[in-house]
Amino acid sequence: MSAGGNPNNIELGPGRLYVAAVGTAAPTSASAAMPSAWWALGYTEEGTTVDIDITRDPIEVAEELDPVDYANSARAVKFSMALAEMTKKRLAVALALGSGYTDDGAYLDFPAADAVSVGVALVWDSSEDPTDGLNRRWYTPKVLPSGTISIERKKSPAKSTLPLELNAVKVSGSPIVRVFPNASGLI
């Protein structure tokens, strides 16, 4: 007995993450190569999790027992991952210092508690080669980190990771997230 599904619609793999300065030219398709202004966040422990939290509050009237409608009252989109490559420029992203740091030997100061947070633009690609015709792409014009950065240093073979939670932020004139499916509609 068939469930009526299509096994070709089952997605596998962790994908690839890229960041750039907020305001960097946005991708226009899932199949275009990433421009050089974007750099890869690199290996992760278990891939990326996307959480979309939508809150709808009931609209109630005295004459009805059940709500007559629901109104959107909040939405939050968060990308979570544990970076396996613990470098200075990745820590800068986690500390809301932006994407302009390099992995040279110069020191990195934690920002002051009242410092302005600098976000990054984020892209998740499903394929290592986006021109393969199978790639799906999610683009967010601005994300800001939040949450606890808890780095564990343990005996080998356990590796340390840099946990990172990136919250999508509304940018005027842009969607909070833009999803580019592949030619088969896979997201």
Mean pLDDT (the chain) is 94
Residue 157 has which token pair? Answer: 């073979």
* pLDDT of 133 strictly over 90: no
Mean pLDDT of 154-166: 94
pLDDT at 2 over 70: no
Least confident of 9-18, 68-77, 78-87: 9-18
Confidence class of residue 39 from pLDDT cuts 50, 70 and 90?
very high
Token output for 147: 């949450």
CB 144 within 8 A of CB 167: yes
Percent of the chain surpassing pLDDT 70: 99
pLDDT exceeds cutoff 60 at 158: yes
Q: Which single residue is written with the structure tokens 């940018």? A: 171
Hey, what long-range contacts does 27-30 have (CB within 8 A, 24 or more apart)?
27/123, 27/137, 27/139, 27/180, 29/137, 29/180, 30/125, 30/130, 30/135, 30/136, 30/137, 30/180, 30/181, 30/182
Smallest CA-to-CA distance from 34 within 112, 128, 117, 102 is with 128
**Rounded to an integer, what distance in angstroms lies between the CA atom of residue 57 and that of residue 66?**
13
Calpha distance 83→89 (Å, rounded):
12
Q: Where are the domains of the chain?
A: 17-180
Secondary structure of residue 132 in the 3-state scheme: helix
Q: Name the pLDDT band for 164 (thresholds 50, 70, 90).
A: very high
Burial of 17 (0-12, 13-18, 19+ CB in 10 A): buried
The answer to whether 143 touches 167, Cβ cutoff 8 Å, is yes
Model confidence at 6, pLDDT cuts 50, 70, 90, reads confident
- With a cut of 70, say whether residue 1 has pLDDT above it: no
pLDDT-derived band at 106, boundaries 50, 70, 90: very high
Q: Quick check: 94 and 111 in contact, CB under 8 A?
A: no
Q: For the chain, how are helix, strand and coil distributed in percent, rounded to 5?
A: 5, 35, 60
Higher pLDDT, 1 or 75: 75
Q: How confident is the model at residue 69 (pLDDT cuts 50, 70, 90)?
A: very high
Residue 4: predicted pLDDT: 80
pLDDT of residue 5: 85
pTM: 0.91
